[in-house]
Amino acid sequence: MTRSAVLTPHGALEPGPLAAILANHAIPGCEVPDRSGRSHTRLLTTPGGPRRVTVTVRPGDVGLTADTDDDGEFAHLVRTTRAWLDLDTDVAAVARAFDGDPLLGPLVRRRPGLRAVGYPESFEAAIMTVLGQQVSVAAGGTFGGRLAAAYGTPTDAGLTLFPTPQAIADAPHEELRAAVGVTRTRAATVQNVARAVAGGLSLDPGGDHAALRKELLALPGIGPWSADYLAVRVLRDPDAFTPGDLVARRAMGGPSIRDAERRSEAWRPYRAYALFHLWTAATYSGA
């Protein structure tokens, strides 16, 4: 049985950029984007198991359909989707905070409903962040699709469930490296993260963000950019920022990492939203 709901955002919504980030970061085999229809299909975890969902991004709301007949599961999927797509943030407050800024003011006036889109599955996000280090978004997606094909779980819904931490942790190192097509160092980082999560590392948005950052940076292969990116996309910290991000710095006019960090101080407590405005200005050409 399929259930459906209309998810209304708090304030404005920019459907083009939201649908684009979902499509651009889709994992082949695990997610099916429909760019023309601005819809996105994938599996989401519920207490009763993974369920196939489709979100359709429209100018004023988001449509959600889910393959479940359980009221509790569907309510869980609604909450997950609202958090994933950042539908509950008061973006008008963000717009007011940035209105007088010479760089961000024009950007937020152009797209006042821009959302800080997260990830619905934290472990998947952590692995995809590692696979996306120093490569294009498309290449990172290709690596993720290979990893899922090798170690994920096919489902009756026609989608592959992303590999579990234990499945990646237990894979022979050279086998995993060859299957994904990454360097031995990158494969080792993927397995370092998987072993840490399998061993109890929690990527919970409700946890201690500073403590988690220290734990992440202690893992071989995880540097400041990855830890900062996860703070933005997984921990959903509205004030997180990635001063080392090349795309954001290019949109800022090319400052050094130190200067980007210093300049971002003026954007507290919404630095994550500043980041999304910078990313969108640099990469999104649609309406």
Domains of the chain and any CATH numbers = 2-88 (3.30.310.20), 122-226 (1.10.340.30)
In the residue annotation, 245 being an active-site residue is answered as: yes
3-state secondary structure (DSSP) of residue 37: coil
What's the CA angle centered on 109, arms 104 and 112, to 5 degrees?
Answer: 100
Q: Which of 86, 228, 237, 245 is catalytic?
A: 245
For 256, counting Cβ atoms within 10 Å of its Cβ (0-12 exposed, 13-18 middle, 19+ buried), the class is: exposed
Give the predicted TM-score (pTM) of the model: 0.96
Q: What is the pLDDT of residue 202?
A: 94
Residue whose C-alpha is closest to residue 146's, from 41, 28, 245, 66: 28
Q: What is the pLDDT of residue 107?
A: 97
Q: What is the pLDDT of residue 287?
A: 60
Pick out the chain residues at pLDDT < 70.
287
Q: What is the pLDDT of residue 60?
A: 94
* Beta-carbon-side half-sphere exposure of residue 190 (alpha carbons within 13 Å): 33
| CA 157/CA 50 separation, integer angstroms | 9
Q: Are 131 and 151 in contact (CB under 8 A)?
A: no
Q: Does residue 28 have a cis peptide bond before it, meaning omega lies within 30 degrees of 0?
A: no
